[in-house]
Amino acid sequence: MIRIISILVGAFFSLALLWSFGNGAASFIKEPPAATAEALFHQHPKHYSFSSDSAFGTFDKQQLQRGFKVYKEVCAACHALKQVAFRDLKAIGYNDDEVKAVAKGFQIPVYNPATGEVNTRDGLPTDHFPPVVYAGQGNPPDLSLITKARHGGAAYVASLLTGYAEQEGYKNEKGQELLKLFPDAKTPDGLYFNPYFANLNIAMPAPIASDDQVTYTDGTKATVDQMAQDVSAFLTWTAEPKLDKRKQTGWAVLGFLLFATTLAYMAYRNIWAGKKGH
């Protein structure tokens, strides 16, 4: 009796679930949701190829150093890297003296419990990048993990940095013009139109606005696109500084598992070869 009741209850809930799904699907077909400016004009990240992307890919240390230069000279005024210590920069090719010089260029807040005051001192290699006190509107995000926190990762960051556009006359891939379809979608004062941002309007003005905004010491031409890719690669490293080591370990583990599986199969065939059918 209990089994019959359980079957009936399960059947009831299954039918209720199917009815709810069918009713929702029918409603969606009859009255599809109205198109929004975000749905029609938000762009997916551009296709970028970074040296660390593939399973065998590794970081390009020269690119990481260029990216750090862009971060330091362009982004650091508004965005912190609180998860990164200055001494971590040795992993991308800086020596001890260079790391000390970088750290000294930052002021580290120090709280004095006796007076309640916050003073500052020069940074040390063991310090993390200090928080940024931003005087403008909004709260710029910390960039330590930004490529892990955004769909598209480094490609999203690079696309966003190079994606600022004039909203007037802007068309999507289907040729639809934004302000003709959505006159009320005009970017408010104080915001900037960027189709790669989720709601199309972002509070951050274009940080990389022109070529040669920074000077690369390795002779690389500092175009807007190059600087965007370099700082995106650097932020990939800040989010996953052990990526190269993880890939190396992963391949070693896969090799061991393949060897162990082959050995186990051969042992199985050897042990049971003459015993099948008994």
Annotated binding-site ranges for heme c: 75, 78-79, 204
Spatial separation of the C-alpha atoms in residues 49 and 17, rounded to whole Å: 44
Q: What is the rounded radius of gyration, in angstroms, for the C-alpha atoms of the chain?
A: 27
